A = this chain, B = another copy of it.
């Protein structure tokens, strides 16, 4: 076994009969290199697998980068609070590599606030951007601007393929609906009514919630031999008729299961279900928010599908940082596994450092 002592720029220079400066210029196409020298260097390069020492590169350059993070205000929403946790963790992790993360929080229910904070990001001229572009039209405009400026951005949670982000991080929502359906189906041995609830204060992400519903419906159409009716409800917890409508639904003797498409909605549904006292209704929802975990432990919620907002963010930052420091291109889209959380595996998820 030969020891492939890592090739250095110095080695290439020696082999090509030029100086390290020239090799450096060739490697970074900085020009100012004669045809002759370029030939010699590329010839050597082709024969040798040169992999620059990233450690040395980072140390030398000693640049510092500013990344702007544009997410909904974490103080008013537990889901986005988890994203923010990811940011805090990433800040600590990347500080010593000269990555500085600046936070821009916008109001989850106010499109104008998104645009305003987006403007602020623009004026700050960061070296990279991580964002949850939950308002489609506004985000479209904003990121076309960033594209023109050549500032790289990574999107998470919600994709906007039209603006061609450096990378998108999230989940396959359609498939996520199918997983929900599968879990639901697994526990049922007779037909009946299934409810798909979109409980949200706002309708901005209705398109995405609908994806989950479509997957949920498709699975049942495709797989189930039993007869199920699937009804969907768009509810806002602020609505006055919310309580009435919900209890009406729970009164239906045919009701067998509830699938909630939002993380915050999951615990709302759970609280109603618990108060109503009805047993044997399956409840499947999203995400490891504290309230959800309590209902999972007490058995009101059967399954949670984990979207892992914290890790989405931390991977997003990591992609940006690697791109800025090491010029390493991240995957165009990174779809997270659709993790299934139950009463019994919950602790193992909480305990593992990854979450």
By a beta-carbon cutoff of 8 Å, the part of chain A in contact with chain B is 6, 51, 53-56, 58-59, 95-98, 171-172, 175, 178-179, 181-183, 186-187, 189, 219, 302, 331, 334-340, 342-345, 347-349, 351-355
Q: How far is the CA of A285 from the CA of B339 in the complex (A)?
A: 17
A182 with B343: CB separation less than 8 A: yes
B348 with A175: CB separation less than 8 A: yes
Partner of A352 from B58, B335, B344 at Cβ < 8 Å: B335
A354 with B340: CB separation less than 8 A: no
Rank and list the top 3 A-B pairs by shortest CB-CB distance, nearest first.
A338-B345, A182-B344, A340-B340
Q: How far is the CA of A55 from the CA of B98 in the complex (A)?
A: 11
Q: How far is the CB of A326 from chain B (nearest CB, A)?
A: 11
What residue in chain B is nearest A56 (Cβ atoms)?
B59
Q: How far is the CB of A211 from chain B (nearest CB, A)?
A: 14
- A345 with B55, Cβ < 8 A, contacts A331-B353, A352-B337 known: no
B6 with A96: CB separation less than 8 A: yes
Residues of chain B with a CB closer than 8 A to A331's CB: 353
Partner of A97 from B55, B335, B337 at Cβ < 8 Å: B55
Ordered by A's residue number, 28 sampled pairs between the chains whose C-beta atoms are within 8 Å are A51-B95, A51-B96, A53-B59, A53-B96, A55-B55, A55-B96, A59-B59, A172-B348, A175-B345, A175-B347, A175-B348, A179-B342, A179-B344, A182-B343, A186-B186, A186-B187, A186-B302, A334-B352, A334-B353, A335-B352, A336-B348, A337-B348, A337-B352, A338-B344, A338-B345, A338-B348, A338-B349, A340-B342
Number of this chain's copies in the assembly equals 2
Residues of chain B with a CB closer than 8 A to A54's CB: 96
B335 with A340: CB separation less than 8 A: no
Additional 17 contacts, C-beta under 8 A, given A175-B347, A179-B345, A181-B344: A6-B96, A6-B98, A51-B95, A53-B59, A56-B59, A171-B348, A182-B342, A183-B342, A186-B187, A335-B351, A335-B352, A337-B339, A337-B345, A337-B351, A337-B352, A339-B340, A340-B342
